[in-house]
Amino acid sequence: MPVQYSSILKEHDAVRHRAGLFDLSHMGQFWLTGDSVAQWADTLTINAVATMKPWQARYNIFCNDDGGAHDDTIFYRVGQRWLLVVNASNATKMWQHLNAHLPPDGVALRNDHGRAALIAIQGPRSVAILQPHVDVDVAALRYYFCTEGNVDGVPAIIARTGYTGEDGFELFVAGDAAPELWRSLLRDGAEAGLEPCGLGARDVLRLEAGMPLYGHELTEEITPVQAGQSWALKMSKPTFIGKAALAEQIERDDFSRIVGLMMQDRAPAREGYRVTRDGAAVGEVRSGSIAPSVGNKHIATALVERSAATLGTVVEVEIRGTAHAANVVPLPFYKREK
């Protein structure tokens, strides 16, 4: 996936106002089959799997014993089968993790990483652009649900999911069918403003929408609780890896946590920059960018001490030896109108 095809700002604008096309074939795709998949997966994940309805998608996080994030993923219940999409950088790690905890029977795994393709179309014109290419009613598909259909005659799983903060779809197809499908969508969607989009625009879009990026807001050391993903944490499940550590962290409530920062000037906050308060170090920037969707202001996420995490707190970001003021603000920075 290139950083950009034309320019990050042009591609960002296309997704927010028209539509953008992303080649996400680098993501890991694992198929899970068997009668025990849901019950087994519930012992590995913080969110519930067994309660998913057929054709539903659900965000989930796998943790290590200390509560740190092993990976954040999406489960798709495709009829009686399960598709698990993992981050590309974690595909090998996650495949090994699943196999290391595989029960003696009731679950079978298949690794399609590098063979299956994934194309995402995101933006307010996604329905109009995609519909002529598919044989199902994509407008009727609910958010975070999926269906089987054909895209340009190619068998596909069509999911109303995405990572941009906009409406859109993700198309799971065979790898050898992807290049022609990509060209067809771009060709027919050009008049409606469809643009090919790269990693740069995707990162700005997800940051504005307050979505974590593994390796930044979530790591093996940063837990879902610290990252603000407690909404996905189902402590009512009997047991899962990391549960005890997360329960202790919640009980103590003394942990550093991810917050949103809005710079008061035009200085860009970047990953790794030190965050201070009244001259004392309180954390570091985890992601940063200019934000076209919020008046071209500079925004960032930062992992800061509890004492500096209250909304409205003024902190400083050290940029090349100079302290630049920033306000702690709510996440997400941007939310589309429904």
Q: Quick check: 338 pLDDT over 80?
A: no
pLDDT digits (tens, 9 = 90+) for 85-126: 999 999 999 999 999 999 999 999 999 999 999 999 999 999
pLDDT digits (tens, 9 = 90+) for 155-199: 999 999 999 999 999 999 999 999 999 999 999 999 999 999 999
User: Half-sphere exposure (CA, 13 Å, Cβ side) for 3?
Assistant: 1
The four Cα atoms 187, 181, 209, 41 give a dihedral, to 10 degrees, of: 170
The span from the CA of 127 to the CA of 75, in Å, is 23
The span from the CA of 226 to the CA of 244, in Å, is 15
Of the chain, the percentage scoring pLDDT greater than 70 comes to 100
pLDDT band at 261 (very low <50, low <70, confident <90, very high): very high
pTM over 0.85: yes
> Was domain 210-329 assigned CATH 3.20.20.120?
no
Residue 93 phi, psi dihedral angles, 5° rounding? -60, -45
pLDDT of residue 98: 98
User: Parallel, antiparallel, or unpaired: how do β-strands 19-23 and 194-197 relate?
Assistant: parallel
Domain 8-206 in this protein, CATH class:
alpha beta
Crossing angle of helices 199-208/8-17, nearest 10°?
Answer: 50
What is the spatial order of strands in the sheet that 57-63 belongs to?
57-63, 69-78, 81-86, 28-33, 108-111
Choose among 271, 272, 284: nearest CA to 315: 284
Q: H helices then E strands: how many in the chain?
A: 7, 17
Number of neighbours of residue 39 by Cβ within 10 angstroms: 13
The span from the CA of 86 to the CA of 289, in Å, is 25
Largest CA-CA distance found in the chain, in angstroms, rounded: 61
Kindly list the domain boundaries of the chain, sorted by start residue. 8-206, 210-329
**3 state SS of 170:** strand
Residues facing residue 316 across a β-bridge: 276, 325
